Amino acid sequence: MPEYVVFDFCQCVSYDNGGWSNVEAKISVVRFNGMGKIKVSKQRDLFDYQKRISDFDMDKYSFLVGKEIRSWLREFFFAGLTAILMVVFVVQPVKVEGTSMEPKLNPQDRIFVNKIVYRFSQISRGDIVVFWYPKNISKSFIKRVIGLPGETVEIRSGVVFVDGRELVESYIPSEYFDFKSFAPKVVSDGNYFVLGDHRNSSNDSRIWGLVPKQNIFGEAVFRYWPLSHLGLIGEGK
């Protein structure tokens, strides 16, 4: 298979009356491998390839470059399609508004919500969920699941009890604590009792009641902004 010459644009070469000037610059001698790839085999003086340059097949070169570009475009297309399908069917980007989930989540945090996780698993205590606000389904809230169907939730001077047992909530620093009490509440079937981690700054089940399962949009699973807090949300919950 013939060799072809590829020039380094940093080199100064000239063509004069059908021949290359006597330039000492080095150039790359390459071979086409038949798969659209170019392999550098060696370097020689430009003067040695005055005859070979006339054999360069521009049509073949253009075809191979075009083939490579088409391959890149195809890969970009499938990558973009995969991303779109992920957003439509699997995850949803969400911006956190308000302070009710501090310090776990802060205002303006960007997170991904897994929209299909509860098709394959049960909602668990401690899950951070995004749901349509029961009093106005045009609004979405983000809270932590505290009480499951059939359980009784009570708050005594800020301490949460589920079925009479104290719930250990190490994720709430003392400055986010609320010392108010809440009378025992039975969580009916198909509903959940939710609270914000920032207890003295959260509009949650203590105020407006339970969240129906069908209102739960998905689980907050990953924070992608800010980059300084990039990572899984569920860690340490």
Q: Which amino acid, one-letter code, is at 143?
A: K
Q: Is the peptide bond before 2 cis (omega within 30 degrees of 0)?
A: no
Amino acid at 51: K
Distance (Å, whole) CA 137 – CA 218: 15
Continuous segment of H or E residues that includes residue 217: strand 216-225
Pick the catalytic residue: 100, 115, 202, 205?
Answer: 100
CA pair distance 47, 219, nearest whole angstrom: 68
CA distance 42 to 59: 24
Closest CA to 233 of 106, 139, 100: 106
Tell me the chain's radius of gyration from C-alpha atoms.
32
Output the CA torsion sign for 105, 106, 111, 113: positive
39 is an active site residue: no
Place of tokens 């191979």: 64
| Of residues 155, 161, 159, 188, the one with CA closest to residue 174 | 159
Q: Is 135 assigned a catalytic role?
A: no
Q: Which of 115, 143, 202, 205 is catalytic?
A: 143
Distance CA 173, CA 151 (A): 25
Return the active site residues: 100, 143
